[in-house]
Structure 1
């Protein structure tokens, strides 16, 4: 309604809504729907023909009528059905009996439920695999399996009309039957009723010739300059900004069918402060290694992640060499020379000389045995040199680090320091701030810190530069990946 009041629902505007908004269309009142004329949206697809859906729909209607007498009964909506599926997954997990011998009646069932701790319950839920109201309900790598088919809807009049479907593998189609015609272009779905009328397709964006460039904030103090690097040729010059994040941003702009003017605004401070600059409208957007976390989402919108998500623990182990023979010393060339000399001498004596006495024969047997031992010893030493050095198998985990009071490191200006203290439970005086990614090797080797907690994209860069002795340890902690930040 706010967009309608400021005139952005008129001709030449395009509004495309995601499932989070479009799924609410069934429950919106007429006044809100009337202000959304021409909106195009994607909506999760689910079948309404199964008996399970019809039973749920009937019971939903009955319960709504009992609680809200006289009001029209709305459609349940995607969110309601997803909540029902989630509750069903919890119920199924609770009813699984860990001890079938003792759980023989209702009382035992309740006892078994109480015996199940939170971690066990979570494990049961993650094993869920059933056909829910919104489709298959199962988890992949700890995440709910995504929906692969969406409905394309267009708000017209007091409701909306269904234009067709979009499938991740096949594209757009007017129906979801196997014999349907698919196309990568939405034009197969027919005419769309756009804001202001259906007679012309709006451009969707119009940039005035004298438009001011967007102010794109970029972080200056970064631990890993491979992602964002800000430098100046001379004091007072415009900043030269490059790095992986900048390359992704520029590649995205190249896909636009119009020119979008922008300028980079360097910012020297924390990432949280940088996000706040968008909220107070000092800058328009942020391009950089900005992790998508909950408190930042309250002040700005994030794009889809363009990198891996997670926080990983990095440790260092001193490499050890093994299989050394103290009786076989000298350089490799001396060892090779000794072995060849012994071998050829032995072969020569066997082929050209005749041994007449038993003493000579016994001496030769002993000599052959010594040559065999030396050859095997050399082979073991050479294998040790050519084998990747084995690392100590000592396991370091979070609890060990906390109980021992070990120091751990993290990037400056990032959210990781607070995460280590608030979420993982480290004492503040045991968390060391590392200003540069190149200082981690020294800090870990010297024992200044026992482990480093670094965001997953940075870990890949670190291990590519410093691979010997450094490994990731333990599970990856789930935090949002990197995304671009735009106006809230």
Structure 2
């Protein structure tokens, strides 16, 4: 063929072959016009002589991603053939679903000439995984082998979703009426097919030809596109001339008018069998749209249509009037779809575990504070966190098989950072326990909503002030008591000097006057005096005295209340800043994130951080103090500290929690 006078190549059908042919066509400047190669990497940028009169897989994968997003599935499994067509199509789908905040969690490649064993291995390998939405992107297969195996593996049930690209439509169009029974094995499958407008030209053809295979219609339009181009080329008085050139393939004839031929071909615009035929900037056929089909009751039902401008719609694209500058995917609609198993409700699309492979839930095998979670000697898993998890499962509307896997040796508390990494590395499917939600962990795993509020607090030793018989004397010092007593005596003498000459209440025998003046002075603490002051100076002195009494009694009451109710700290530490500034040893719980936080966020020297493994070690270290081999304070999460203080006296929390966090369950399987 390369030695003949070739001005255009129609085909090939295969994307893989198109890659090879296009490289040669570039060298001889002969345009290649394919009506079936849908690989999106076949572009004019790499192959300037390549044209495509069919819809690119990049467009088809946008439709598939819209369908996935319409049903709210966030993770899917893709199965494809291991060639340019399969790989590049799935890569394009990966980009499209990512735009919609979804992802292809797993990709399985089938050999080009796959058999039933290859399919069985792939499907068996996918069963233990969580997603149940399968995207099948393979070459047309009249035997529908992948669904034969899926039926044998009991994968055509209501737990599964099967979505196919347009290879299924191509396969179904090749079936004869005798073969219609094969539809039984694909009940509930949903596929995407290229949609073409029913033009007036269709009436001049048998409807069977038009509907049998859309690629046949595209092939027809391809021939006409080449014919129109040759006709225009010759009408412009151009000659079909060639230049002989040597190459690794021998002597080749290079088409001298190749560039002009490409220019004319890229500008054609006519109405073909499949609709308007003209190319976009990448020399792909300007896409028309897709239809969504559903196989049910041995019949192929149209349940909707899709275009890049209208989104999903139940109305045919021909009847829609859409502003092509605006995407309207927010108004997506589809008809009722019957899924595998015969249900019409939207499938969940994922499972977290099944009876054959229950979830592996890691739990910290704690050595201290075991009331939260641990494994007992009889291998029973108990604790507050486990109780919360079991109660939460009661709210899940489906069964969730799981098994607890202890993490740690039980001799010391395990590292919670390591536990989270085990979830990230898929050693565990999740983790249940007193697991703090901290930034470095949220970067690698998912957390549930917090079920407990926590934060780091500081614990220090205290001295309890015990009430004594003479505790009421402690608010004032001895000097203060003496000054107060002298003030009472002084006021008594002053009032007597000012009143006894004008006030009969302060007259009489000496003994009576002494009793009166001292009772007058001291009784002002408790009640109104029976004796009234008469002189103006006496009244002024009483006003000042009553003000002083108010100050004295208020100060005394406040000091006595503090002594009786407030524990006096025996440490100068009042908060995290003063603790760090002391540069004294600080205790932390083994396995806690407090160590990382203190060392990396507050820059406390690691040599100053002392690991402690139990509440008894907490108490012992605090009582010893920082200068006797103990610690100045302990930094730990609030729930642990509260439990510690319930069983140990002589310690207290100082300051406020200096981090805000919570406990949550960990998973790498959240949809």
Scaled to the shorter chain, the TM-score interval is 0.3 to 0.5
TM-score by length of 1: 0.48
